[in-house]
């Protein structure tokens, strides 16, 4: 079987408006590791940049399946572009469809979809219209972040603010830098947890649950872009999380529920954080989580069960089974 590995690679010269403009894109080493894993299944793999030439190249190469890790280019629907093209070309592909990709990249939309079945913290979306009253009604501190970005883009160490006035100021800067609405969300002081999920339908299962903790005690810990870039020194990963068993069970159930509500397929990662009372609240869903062999959260939380290659192969085989495609 001939499989296209679709990706967006980090450019050698990052000339974006911000230093994190290409944070979501993959390093060549990640692309190579995924390619090797797929070749391990006996597949013929064609690595392909997901750019404007991609639709024509898929047809020219005669690809029969797509392994998608492409983040896309553009606005909040960018992750939906590859699934949409694959459906246009009638090519089976890994991962969630265009609707799920678009809905989950928009953090506010994803929150609205999973709630009230899955708890969320109170929040306000600033989209260029006045929201003075709504901001004043939030309890502070609050965290301010771009609504339509991933990989902690725009979430800096100064993301937590103490007042509505500070939230407005921070939101203005983010809107100017990223050109999208800004989410102001009540800050949750408890443990941050991420949940890896694989599968479809009745066979869907939690691959692992991991606590993301500060390397040093920090009551206002934020998994910011600075922290992620220095993860070996500044982050402690705990599998399973150091939370009560009942809390862990509740997070697991809520993650699976959110996975189904949002229409995720094959694999995804769900992020939660505990409030002051120990209640888990949904932060966001990533239906296209990173697969860097060293530092991607999904890879780290799965290590006790699967190697990186086995994880990649599991994702492909889940998609092939869903699409009723025989791997040969």
- Residue 205: exposure state from Cβ atoms within 10 A (0-12, 13-18, ≥19): exposed
Confidence of residue 178 (pLDDT cuts 50, 70, 90): confident
Question: For residue 14, what pLDDT band results from cuts at 50, 70 and 90?
Answer: low
Q: What are phi and psi of 258, to 5 degrees?
A: -65, -40
Give the Å distances, CA to CA, from 112 to 106, 108, 121, 155, 283.
Answer: 10, 6, 11, 21, 11
Q: Quick one: pLDDT at residue 11? A: 85
| Residue 111 maps to a domain | no
| Together in a domain, 53 and 137 | no
Q: Are 205 and 289 within one domain?
A: yes
Q: Is the pLDDT of residue 5 over 80?
A: yes
Q: Coil, helix or strand for 197? A: strand
In CATH, what number is assigned to the domain containing residue 278? 3.30.470.20
Mean pLDDT throughout 277-289?
97
| Per-residue pLDDT at 84 | 97
| 45-85 pLDDT, tens digit each | 999 999 999 999 999 999 999 999 999 988 889 999 999 99
Pair (228, 286) in one structural domain:
yes
Asked if the structure places residue 116 within a domain, the reply is no
Judge whether 109 lies within some domain: no
Q: In what order do the strands lie in the sheet with 235-238?
A: 235-238, 205-214, 192-199, 266-274, 280-286
The confidence score (pLDDT) of residue 101 equals: 97
> pLDDT (tens digit, 9 = 90+) per residue, 299-318?
999 999 999 999 999 999 99
Digit-coded pLDDT (tens) for 115-137: 999 999 999 999 866 566 889 99
Structure confidence at residue 73 (pLDDT): 87
Domain assignment present for 103: no
Tens-digit pLDDT profile for residues 181-227: 999 999 999 999 999 999 999 999 999 999 999 988 777 899 988 98
Residues 130 and 251 in one domain: no
Q: Pick from 60, 95, 130: which residue ends a domain?
A: 95
CA distances to 147, 253, 260, 318 from 96, rounded to whole Å, are: 20, 20, 11, 12
Same domain, 14 and 91: yes
Q: In the structure encoding, which two tokens stand for residue 148, read together?
A: 């339509």
Q: How far is CA 77 from its chain centroid?
A: 14
Judge if 180 and 277 occupy the same domain.
no
Please name the residues in contact with 152: beta carbons below 8 A apart, sequence gap of 6 or more.
20, 23, 223, 224, 225, 228
Higher pLDDT, residue 224 or 261: 261
Q: How confident is the model at residue 129, as a pLDDT?
A: 64
Instruction: For residue range 88-109, list pLDDT tens digits in order.
Output: 999 999 999 999 999 999 999 9
pLDDT in tens, 15-53: 655 778 888 899 999 999 999 999 999 999 999 999 999
Domain region containing 138: 122-186
Same structural domain, 200 and 269: yes
Spatial distance between the Cα atoms of 207 and 59, rounded to a whole number of angstroms: 34
Question: Do both 222 and 271 map to the same domain?
Answer: yes
pLDDT in tens, 236-256: 999 999 999 999 999 999 999
Burial of 68 (0-12, 13-18, 19+ CB in 10 A): buried
Q: Tally Cβ neighbours within 10 Å of residue 246.
A: 9
Cis ω before 141 (30° cut-off from 0)? yes
Residue 13: pLDDT band (50, 70, 90) is: low
Residues 193 and 317 in one domain: yes
CATH (domain of 174): 3.30.1490.20
> How far apart, in whole angstroms, are the C-alpha atoms of residue 125 and residue 134?
9
Q: Domain ends where: 186, 209, 229? A: 186
Question: What whole-number distance in Å separates Cα of residue 273 and Cα of residue 187?
Answer: 9
């Amino acid at each position: 079987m001939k499989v296209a590995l679709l990706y967006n690679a980090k450019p050698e010269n990052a000339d974006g408006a911000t230093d994190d403009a290409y944070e979501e894109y993959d390093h060549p080493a990640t692309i190579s590791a995924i390619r090797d894993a797929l070749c391990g299944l006996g597949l013929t793999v064609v690595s392909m940049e997901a750019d404007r030439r991609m639709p024509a190249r898929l047809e020219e190469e005669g690809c029969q399946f797509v392994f998608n890790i492409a983040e896309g280019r553009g606005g909040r629907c960018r992750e939906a572009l590859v699934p949409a093209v694959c459906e246009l070309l009638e090519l089976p592909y890994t991962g969630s469809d265009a609707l799920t990709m678009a809905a989950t990249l928009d953090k506010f939309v994803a929150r609205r979809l999973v709630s009230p079945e899955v708890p969320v913290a109170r929040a306000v979306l600033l989209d260029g219209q006045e929201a003075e009253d709504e901001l004043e009604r939030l309890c502070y501190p609050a965290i301010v972040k771009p609504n339509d970005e991933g990989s902690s883009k725009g979430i800096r160490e100064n993301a937590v603010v103490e007042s509505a006035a500070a939230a407005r100021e921070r939101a203005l800067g983010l809107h100017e830098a990223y050109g999208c609405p800004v989410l102001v969300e009540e800050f949750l002081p408890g443990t941050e947890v991420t949940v890896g999920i694989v599968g479809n339908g009745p066979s869907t299962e939690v691959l692992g649950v991991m606590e993301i903790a500060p390397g040093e005690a920090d009551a206002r810990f934020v998994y910011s872009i600075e922290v992620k870039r220095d993860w070996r020194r500044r982050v402690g990963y705990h599998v399973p999380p150091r939370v009560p068993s009942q809390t862990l069970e509740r997070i697991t159930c809520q993650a699976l529920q959110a996975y189904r509500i949002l229409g995720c397929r094959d694999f995804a990662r769900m992020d939660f954080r505990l409030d002051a009372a120990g209640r888990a609240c949904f932060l966001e869903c990533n239906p296209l989580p990173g697969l860097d062999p060293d530092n991607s959260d999904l890879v780290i939380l799965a290590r006790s069960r699967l190697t990186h290659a086995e994880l990649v192969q599991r994702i492909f085989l889940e998609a092939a089974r869903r699409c009723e495609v025989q791997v040969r």
